[in-house]
A and B are shown apart, each in its own frame.
Chain A
Amino acid sequence: EVQLVQSGAEVKKPGESLKISCKGSGYTFTNYWIGWVRQTPGKGLEWMGIIYPGDSDTRYSPSFQGQVTISADKSISTAYLQWSSLKASDTAMYYCARSYSSSPPPDYWGQGTLVTVSS
């Protein structure tokens, strides 16, 4: 069974750093792309970027380029999304999702990680 299991909810202060994770199982992790998607009540679902764990090829949405860093450790089948300095506007639900290529929309999604940034 394909599963993407994300790390738990986080509460952070503005300016703090954060790294959340997404562990894949039930398939060959290095053969699929992992994308990150932000969901907020105001802006809905937004694609942030995508990584191919096989060779770490990474692409970012222009809206998120420079704001976040996407990485992966194929030895433990885990992808990451990190911030160096959080803002209140980063408060959202974040999903990882799998795709067989960099183009088609994803098939399986993680359960989501709620990030709350508040002073």
Chain B
Amino acid sequence: QSALTQPASVSGSPGQSITISCTGTSSDVGTYNLVSWYQQHPGKAPKLMIYEGIKRPSGVSNRFSGSKSGNTASLTISGLQAEDEADYYCCSYASSSAWVFGGGTKLTVL
């Protein structure tokens, strides 16, 4: 059982927008603005897409955006492209255990 809860899968057609949620508690997501989102393609290492909840690293497309409300963080991908098909993980700092991860969400581009 992962510490943060994500939907197992989401899907969308090219050009559409999708949102992936990441629900934690007041001990992690709800208290700290330290949520990151990672994209992982099969056989590859995770790649940072969003950090501190809303910030995009240099080189990451502005089609990726992050937000937070209460104990839930969200990743939105707009203008879906075939290359966005991957697994996505959220991660938050937690007072109990440093980094806590979500179980991952498989994004399928139809």
Which A residues are within 8 Å of any B CB, using their own CB? 35, 37, 43-47, 50, 59, 61-63, 95, 97, 102-112
Contacts and interface: CB of A to CB of B under 8 A. Distances in A.
Would you list the 3 A-B pairs with minimal beta carbon distance, nearest first? A105-B36, A47-B99, A45-B101
Contact of A112 (B45, B93, B97): B45
Given A50-B98, A104-B51, A107-B57, A44 B104 contact: yes
A37 B99 contact: yes
21 contacts: A35-B98, A37-B99, A44-B89, A45-B91, A45-B101, A47-B98, A50-B98, A61-B97, A95-B46, A102-B98, A103-B34, A104-B51, A105-B35, A105-B36, A105-B99, A106-B36, A106-B48, A107-B48, A109-B46, A110-B45, A112-B45
B99 A35 contact: yes
B92 A62 contact: no
Interface of B: 2, 32, 34-36, 44-48, 51-52, 57, 89, 91-93, 97-104
A7 to B, nearest CB: 14
Contacts of B2: 43-45
Given A109-B45, A112-B45, A103 B98 contact: yes
A37 B32 CA distance: 21
B1 to A, nearest CB: 8
Contacts of B34: 103-105
B45 A111 contact: yes
